[in-house]
Amino acid sequence: MAKRVYEVWKGRNKFFLGGRLIFGPDAKSLLASFSMIIVPVAIFCIFVGRHLRHEFPSYNAGYAIIVAAIVFTIYDLVLLLLTSARDPGIIPRNLHPPEEEFRYETSISQESGERQTPTLQFPRTKEVMVNGVSVKVKYCDTCMLYRPPRCSHCSICNNCVERFDHHCPWVGQCIGLRNYRFFFLFVSSSTLLCIYIFSMSALYIKILMRDEKGTVWKAMQESPASVVLMAYCFISLWFVGGLTGFHLYLISSNQTTYENFRYRSDNRYNVYNRGCINNFLEVFCTKIKPSKNKFRAPVQEEVHRPPPTTARDSGTDDGGAPENRRMKVEDDLDFGGDILKISQRHNIEDIESEIRSRGNDSIEL
C-alpha cells in the first residue's frame, strides 16, 4: 500500500486523524494553553458565577452570567484549535533545485593554463516585483526553492511558511498566511474573556461588601476564589492584552512580527502597506487560500531518468579505440530484446557484422 504524504513529511510537524490535523513539533504546549483557559473559567462558574445568579432573579438573568462565560470559553478554544491544527501556509519542498537557475562557469588553472572542470553556480537571491517595487527573495537550501515575498523558513517546524509571522509556542504552530486571522481572533477573545472574568469577580466582591456591610478585606476573605481569579486575569491581561494591541498595530501597517523585529532599524519603505482600512480588510475579509499540500494524498514516486549520453560526454569519437567504440554502440544501439544479447559480446568485429546484417546505417563506429 502506497504511503501518504504526511507519513513521509520531511518537516517536524505532528499529524493526527490520518493527516487531517497538522501541529508543530511542540504540540504538547497546546495542552497547557487549554488548561490555562478552562481551569479559571471552571473556578469562576463554581465559586463565583453560582452565587451571582441569585443577584439577578428577574427572568433568570443570573444564569446568563454563567452561560456567557461558557460560550465565550468554547469560542476561544475553537479559535485556538483552528490556529494550531491547520496548515499555516507551508510551501511544498522541491525534489531538486530549479534547473532554469543553473549556471555553469569554467575556471582556468593559473599553474597549467588548462581549463578546470565546470562548476555549478547557483544564485542565492533574485529580484521579483511587488507593487511596482523590486524585492529580493532568497533561496532556501532546505526546501530547494526561492522563497516568495514575505516567506521565511521556520527553524522549529523546518518548513518555509508564506507570510511568516512567528512561531508561537503557546499554540504549538507557526503563524502564517492561512492561520493569522484565527490567531488574532484567539488572542483578542482571550483578552475579552480575561476582562469578563475580572469584572464579574470584582462585582462579586462588591456585592459581598454590601451584604456583609464590611470592608474589602472581609469580602476578600469571604471569597478567596474571586481574589485569585482577579489576580490571574490581571497578570494575563498584560500578556494577551499587550499582544492584541501589538498585532492591531501590525495589521494597520501591514507588517508581520518577523518583519517588524528584523527591519525595524532599517527604516525601509513598506511595499505591502495599502492603507489602514485596506490592510484590515486584507486580513479579515479576504478568502483564505487553500493549502498547497495534500497531506492525505498518496506519495508520487519520481522517475529518475539518466541524461542522454553524447560522444562528448563519453569521450569517444569516430576514430576511438575498439573498447570505446564498443561502449558507443552499446549506448546508442537499441534492437529491443536483442540489445542484451549484443551488449554481452566482447568482440568488436562481431558487433559490426551484426549491424551490417540488420542494415542499420544510422550508427557510426
| CA distance to 3, 96, 125, 302, per residue, from 9 (Å) | 11, 16, 26, 15
Q: Residue 324: its pLDDT value, please?
A: 44
Q: Are 351 and 335 in contact (CB under 8 A)?
A: no
Between CA 318 and CA 325 the distance in angstroms is 8
Q: How far apart are CA 234 and CA 169, in angstroms?
A: 22
Task: State the cell numbers at 182.
Answer: 484565527
Q: What is d(CA 21, CA 19) in angstroms, rounded to the nearest whole number?
A: 6
Number of Cβ within 10 Å of residue 342's Cβ equals 17
Task: Encode the chain (365 residues) as per-residue pLDDT tens digits.
Answer: 678 999 999 999 999 999 999 999 998 899 999 999 999 999 999 999 888 887 777 667 778 899 999 999 999 999 999 999 999 999 999 888 876 655 555 555 555 555 555 555 667 788 787 877 778 889 998 998 999 999 999 999 999 999 999 999 999 999 999 999 999 999 999 999 999 999 999 999 999 888 776 788 888 888 999 999 999 999 999 999 999 999 999 999 999 999 998 887 677 788 899 999 999 999 999 999 999 999 999 987 665 555 444 443 444 444 444 444 444 434 443 433 443 343 444 444 444 554 455 444 443 33
Q: Which residues are catalytic?
A: 168
Q: Which residue is listed with cell 483578542?
A: 188
Residue type, 176: G
Question: CB-hemisphere CA count at 13 Å for 45?
Answer: 15
Tracing cell 489602514 back to the chain, one arrives at: 276
Model confidence, pTM: 0.76
Q: Which residue has the cell 508581520?
A: 256
**8-state DSSP, 189:** H
Q: Under a CB-based contact definition with an 8 Å cutoff, are residues 247 and 205 in contact?
A: no
Residue 316's nearest CA partner among 303, 306, 330, 297 is 330
What backbone torsions phi and psi does residue 234 show, to the nearest 5 degrees? -65, -45
Q: Which three cell numbers stand for residue 271?
A: 511595499
3-state secondary structure at position 166: strand
Task: Give SS3 for 175.
Answer: strand
